[in-house]
Amino acid sequence: MSEPLEGDGWKGAGEELGGFETLAAELRQIMEAQNAAREQALRQCRETIRTAAVAIRAVHRMEFEEAESLLRAARQCVDALHSALSTHPSLLAAGYVHDAEKEYVEAEVVHAIVRGREVPAPAALGVGPAAYLNGLAEAGSECRRYVLDRLRAGATDEADRVLRIMDDIYFELVTFDFPDAITGNLRRTTDAFRAVLERTRGDLTVALQQRALEQALRAAGQKLDP
């Protein structure tokens, strides 16, 4: 049988049991604090995702004042999330934190693109690189809906403007050739964005060709009028 370990930890016999109970109580207190922080962070994550989704809907409805109010609320949720985990940095790497930050970035970027504003940087949004890049990719995909809405409204120039931004986003994203563990599976998100981008490009091309044909037919009809 091996000898008990020497040192400040638990020796595991008789009178030393009280020392272990003290140590166990301290560890239990630490884990209870971590669990409480995690539960609070989960609530903030759910609220961030919900608020960001409603903000995107408001942008598509052109309800920009409502969208900006919701974006401020989403930012407050993100800040509260970071505050809850400030003393538990290991939890910041959890997937639910990444997802919440990503959804917030998506909402901010969609709003900026639609309004013709500069896309905010990660530091301005208070998020890390991986969440930012994935949110940027998902914002690019979300812009397809806006492009289609503009096409239905006959605003092909505006649709073309946003498609060009989608193109720019995609060609920057493909330059981030790093392991998925670092990028948060950015490659998969970018691949999905590429498929959306190509479908959107096809829709816009057809719309532009149709508009050109209609203009040509109207011009020909005017020439035939007596």
Domains and CATH numbers, the chain: 23-127 (1.20.58.2140), 144-226 (1.20.58.2140)
Model's pTM, two decimal places? 0.83
Cα 8 to chain centroid distance, Å, stands at: 46
Q: pLDDT truncated to tens, each residue of the chain (226 aa)?
A: 444 444 455 455 445 555 778 888 888 877 887 777 787 778 888 999 999 999 999 999 999 999 999 999 999 999 988 887 777 776 767 788 889 999 999 999 999 999 999 999 999 999 999 999 999 999 999 999 999 999 999 899 999 999 999 999 999 999 999 999 899 999 999 999 999 999 999 998 888 887 777 667 776 666 655 5
| pLDDT value, residue 44 | 83
| pLDDT value, residue 219 | 66
Per DSSP, the three-state class of 184 is coil
| pLDDT value, residue 17 | 56
Q: Which residues of 81-115 are buried (b: 16+ CB within 10 A; e: fewer)?
A: bbebbeebeebeebebbbbbbbbbbbbbbbbbbbe
| pLDDT value, residue 8 | 52
Contact yes or no for 70/55 (Cβ under 8 A): yes
| pLDDT value, residue 3 | 45
| pLDDT value, residue 47 | 92
Contact yes or no for 126/79 (Cβ under 8 A): yes
What is the four-CA torsion angle of 84, 85, 88, 94, rounded to 10 degrees? 140
- CA dist 134 and 97 (Å) reads 13
| pLDDT value, residue 220 | 65
The encoded tokens of residue 171 equal 């060609």
Q: Which residues of 162-185 are buried (b: 16+ CB within 10 A; e: fewer)?
A: bbebbeebbeebeeeeeeeeebbe
